[in-house]
Amino acid sequence: MEISAAQVKELREKTGAGMMDCKKALSETTGNFEKAIEYLRKKGIASAAKKSGRMAKEGTITSYIHGEGKVGILVEVNCETDFVARTDQFRQFVKDLAMHVAAANPQWVRSEEVPSEILAKEKEIALAQMQASGKPAAVLEKIAEGKVKKFYEENCLLHQPFVKDSSKTIEQLLKETIATLGENIVIRRFARYVLGEGIQEINP
């Protein structure tokens, strides 16, 4: 069934969950509001969203070396207390993130970090590719938005499908971990090093 923007907005205001999570919850429950709330609670999304405003200044920095020393990853993930930072589940989550960064090569943590000029260029390229199609401007704009979304999925860590379970994104994995551990958790930053990257060959 068709889910309206007003329904999504109302569910978001009630639960604090993200727009896409709310839309999925309503779709899965055929628009039943109470069941949608229950769906979000079972997934831990509603409780995770409510924790997102709390200060997270503890945590850990984890390193991961892949491919016999060919790729090196550093990831910083913050939580609220040192107690949670020491738990096996938190440490496993950070380790999984580092392995994911090694495999998926994201450029940014979240979509808000993508420079506006890069985003504008991606949209410009998408529109240019479709100019000859003869489709109305409004349709072209929608298609361009879809291509920008795909760009996020390919380049932003939180939007990428988790390499160990492609049925969920890193953002969904993060929300599940927040719900389980009961604290706000923030993926702050990462660095990815590839052996020899940036070295220019000098011809003799």
- Which residues of the chain are in CATH 3.30.479.20 domains? 58-110+156-194
Helix segments in the chain, DSSP class H: 5-15, 19-28, 33-43, 45-51, 82-85, 88-104, 116-130, 137-155, 170-181
User: Going by CATH, does the domain composed of 5-51 fall within 3.40.30.10?
Assistant: no
Give the class (CATH, top level) of 115-155. Answer: mainly alpha
Q: Nearest-5° angle of CA 29, CA 34, CA 37?
A: 80
Q: Nearest-5° angle of CA 48, CA 175, CA 162?
A: 175
pTM: 0.69
- Which residues of the chain are in CATH 1.10.286.20 domains? 115-155
pLDDT at 201: 62
pLDDT at 47: 55
- Which residues of the chain are in CATH 1.10.8.10 domains? 5-51
Closest CA to 51 of 24, 84, 10: 84
Q: What topology does CATH give the domain 58-110+156-194?
A: Tetrahydropterin Synthase; Chain A (3.30.479)
Average pLDDT, 10 consecutive residues per value, the chain (204 residues):
81 71 85 82 62 75 91 95 92 96 95 90 78 70 81 94 94 90 91 86 56
Dihedrals φ, ψ of 164, to 5°? -90, -15
